[in-house]
């Protein structure tokens, strides 16, 4: 857990949206005191199948793991989970490219895996060390990109979509398309809309305004998207991938949003609605991978194996609100969750969605476009 996430929890605690106990659990303060006790020799470390060291470093996204699960992992293995959260795949890859980042487990998105593998930033996985992962339990539509040319580099975590969230008590127009999203931003709801600090989704959904592919790298199409983004920028409330606090405080009333964040927002405020633009947009899968220079490979395998265990994974899903790709996990989840239209959108809105394309993570044109948009 980094400072940002800690503060996020602190604020939620202060705002009264989580209890003190949840706060201590979420921030790991409970774990921290337990670790301190262990370090000081006040508590014997429990035996585990082989020593996996005293810490595993997990590189992931905000609000993506049930802190109670990680605490249980620590109790079972004696290894604490050091969590770092990122705002975009670009940021995650940049840290790995710079070398010796010290991460053991990575949570990359489908479209980045081939690029990670070709740059030798992640290592092939020995599935024998992840016995709780059962490839046959996963729908290959979601999980195919974990393997690169037949070599498995990553095992699936969950999947989701990228739409937008509206606070329906203020956004009363009932928008259903990306065109409406961008138009409302420039008119009625100027100053109260957020976009991700993430080129893939922000550029991708600006492309959808014109009906282009979410993945376009066509120069003329990107130029149109840039024109739109630059026109929209003065009307934005902010550019941030951590939009939940602003949505909850009421400063922002509409934002580009991922499945699980919509579920988490709705948990706090029933007026929060999730919209998948009818033109399409992104569908994605996140995976677990191990960096090539991971300092604690043994710990990495232990943590991944633990997190993909169906009953643990089911608790994860209940916490983060993203649908699992694992049929065994789904069997353990309550019916209302499996029928939730945020997690499982209707077939007709799901159909036009695109998976992010390989190569976009390293595409210069899109990276530069986004940097220009932000510094404009």
**Residue 332 near residue 137, CB atoms below 8 Å:** no
CB of 168 to another protein, least distance (A): 18
Nearest to 354 by CA among 264, 276, 257: 276
Q: Which of 93/276 has CB closer to another protein?
A: 93
DSSP string, 249-279: HTS-SEEEEEHHHHHHHHHH-TTEEEE--TT
Is 27:21 a contact under the CB 8 Å cutoff? no
Nearer of residues 117 and 349 to another protein, judged by Cβ: 117
Q: CA 170, CA 253: separation in Å to the nearest integer?
A: 7
Q: Distance (Å, rounded) from C-alpha 355 to C-alpha 359?
A: 12
Nearer to another protein, 351 or 376 (CB): 376
Minimum CB–partner distance for residue 7 and another protein (Å): 5
Q: Which is nearer to another protein, 115 or 180 (CB)?
A: 115
Taking the complex as a whole, the smallest distance from the CB of residue 27 to another protein amounts, in Å, to 13
Closest to another protein by CB, 181 vs 370, is 370
Q: Which of 274, 279, 271 is nearest to 322 (CA)?
A: 274
Residue 42's Cβ-count burial label (10 Å; 0-12, 13-18, 19+) is exposed
Report in angstroms how near the CB of residue 96 gets to another protein at its nearest. 11
- What is the smallest separation between the CB atom of 249 and another protein, expressed in angstroms? 5
Q: Catalog residues that contact another protein under the rule CB under 8 A.
A: 3-4, 7, 10-11, 14, 88, 90-91, 93-95, 97, 115, 119, 191, 197, 199, 233, 236-240, 245-246, 249-251, 362, 364, 367-368, 370-372, 374-376
Residues with Cβ < 8 Å from 57, sequence gap 6 or more? 81, 82, 84, 102, 103, 104, 105, 295, 296
Task: Quote the least distance from Cβ 81 to another protein, whole Å.
Answer: 22
- Residue 4 or 267 with smaller CB distance to another protein: 4
């Amino acid at each position: 857990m980094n400072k940002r996430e800690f503060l996020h929890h602190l604020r939620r605690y202060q705002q009264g949206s989580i209890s003190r106990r949840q706060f201590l659990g979420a921030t790991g303060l409970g774990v921290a005191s337990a670790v301190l006790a262990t370090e000081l020799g006040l508590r014997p470390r429990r035996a585990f199948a082989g020593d996996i060291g005293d810490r595993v470093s997990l590189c992931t996204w905000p609000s993506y793991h049930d802190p109670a699960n990680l605490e249980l992992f620590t109790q079972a293995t004696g290894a604490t989970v050091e969590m770092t959260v990122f705002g975009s795949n670009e940021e995650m890859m940049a840290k790995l490219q710079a070398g010796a980042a010290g991460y053991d487990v990575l949570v990359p998105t489908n479209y980045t895996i081939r690029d990670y593998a070709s740059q030798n930033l992640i290592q092939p996985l020995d599935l024998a060390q992840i016995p709780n992962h059962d490839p046959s339990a996963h729908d290959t539509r979601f999980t195919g990109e974990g393997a690169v040319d037949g070599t498995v580099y990553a095992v699936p975590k969950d999947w989701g979509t990228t739409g937008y969230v509206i606070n329906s008590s203020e956004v009363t127009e009932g928008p259903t398309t990306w065109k409406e999203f961008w138009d409302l931003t420039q008119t009625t709801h100027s100053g109260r809309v957020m976009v991700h600090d993430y080129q893939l989704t922000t550029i991708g959904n600006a492309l959808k305004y014109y009906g282009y592919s979410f993945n376009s790298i066509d120069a003329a199409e990107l130029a149109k998207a840039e024109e739109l983004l630059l026109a929209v920028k003065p009307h934005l409330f902010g550019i941030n991938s951590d939009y939940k606090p602003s949505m909850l405080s009421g400063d922002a009333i509409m934002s580009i949003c991922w499945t699980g964040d919509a579920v988490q927002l709705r948990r706090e405020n029933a007026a929060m609605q999730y919209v998948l633009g009818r033109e399409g947009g992104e569908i994605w899968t996140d995976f677990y991978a191990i960096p090539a220079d991971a300092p604690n490979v043994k710990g990495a395998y232990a943590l991944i194996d633990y997190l993909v265990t169906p009953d643990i994974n089911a608790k994860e899903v209940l916490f983060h609100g993203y649908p699992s790709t694992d049929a065994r996990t789904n069997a353990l989840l309550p019916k209302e969750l499996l029928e939730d239209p945020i997690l499982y959108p209707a077939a007709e809105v799901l159909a036009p969605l695109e998976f992010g394309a390989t190569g976009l993570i390293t595409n210069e044109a899109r990276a530069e476009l986004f940097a220009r948009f932000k510094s404009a």
